[in-house]
Amino acid sequence: MTNPPRSKTAVVIRHVVFEDLGYFAPVLTAAGYDIRYVDLDQAPLSALSPEQPDLLIVLGGPIGVYEVEAYPYLLEERRILAARLAANRPTFGICLGAQLIAATLGADVAPMGHKEIGFGPLTLTDAGRRGPLRHLDGAPVLHWHGDAFQIPSGAENLAATALCATQGFAIGRTVLGLQFHPEVEVVRGIERWLTGHAAELSAAGIDPRALRAQASTIPPEARIAAQRMFEEWLSQIG
């Protein structure tokens, strides 16, 4: 009698509750992963084994990787990432998560001097068109950041926009960092973002009504593209 396949574990570091896996959650479940969120106000990050999970995902958040005195848990996240990256274990970062990966690998992360908030397409590099991001070619994705990472040494630059030249990077088949947010459930999730980041929008002079109107025009095909991108990357890491 054959043993049933072992469930895979996806540990997800979540900085704010409404910035969750969104569209990516059902893709992970379909691929056989058990999802475990690690929230900052629950078990300490020090209890997390860097190498044990089959996949580590670090999500976004409204702070900078350099704000370690105000938010010391960032140092713990970088310690976890350093061990995990050194072991070449599958790791995926979105926005702040990608910036933390880049910083851990020695790349600079700094304010851009402007905000990039809203929906828009990516310009893929040749490397981006060869990999999973090709599914997003021409699709509107959500941008929401004021910092940007430089591409880490040994990584491939995958995409750009007019406001940010570094929108994604990959290291081999096991590490992916995205500056943008393809995971956000636009129809059900955008209101949480508009409310949760109300202070940032106000400071940037961005009217939430304009973003809400943008979100209402995003076609269902954008969700399908995002999920296919993530599904293909998961198939790469096995």
For residue 119, list its beta bridge partners. Answer: 142
**Phi/psi at 21 (5° precision):** -70, -25
Q: Quick one: CA dihedral 188, 64, 15, 175, positive or negative?
A: positive
- Burial (CB < 10 A; 0-12, 13-18, 19+), residue 9, is middle
145 is a catalytic site residue:
no
CB 237 within 8 A of CB 55: yes
Give catalytic status of residue 156 as yes or no.
no
When the pLDDT of each residue in the chain is averaged and rounded to a whole number, the result is 95
Report which secondary-structure segment, H or E, holds 37.
Answer: strand 33-39
* Catalytic, out of 135, 143, 145, 181: 181
Q: How many other CB atoms are found less than 10 A from the CB of residue 90?
A: 21
Mean local confidence (pLDDT), 5-32 = 94
State the catalytic residue, choosing from 77, 95, 164, 197: 95
pLDDT digits (tens, 9 = 90+) for 112-148: 999 999 999 999 999 999 999 999 999 999 999 999 9
Known catalytic membership, residue 143: no
Over residues 167-202, the pLDDT tens digits come to: 999 999 999 999 999 999 998 889 999 999 999 999
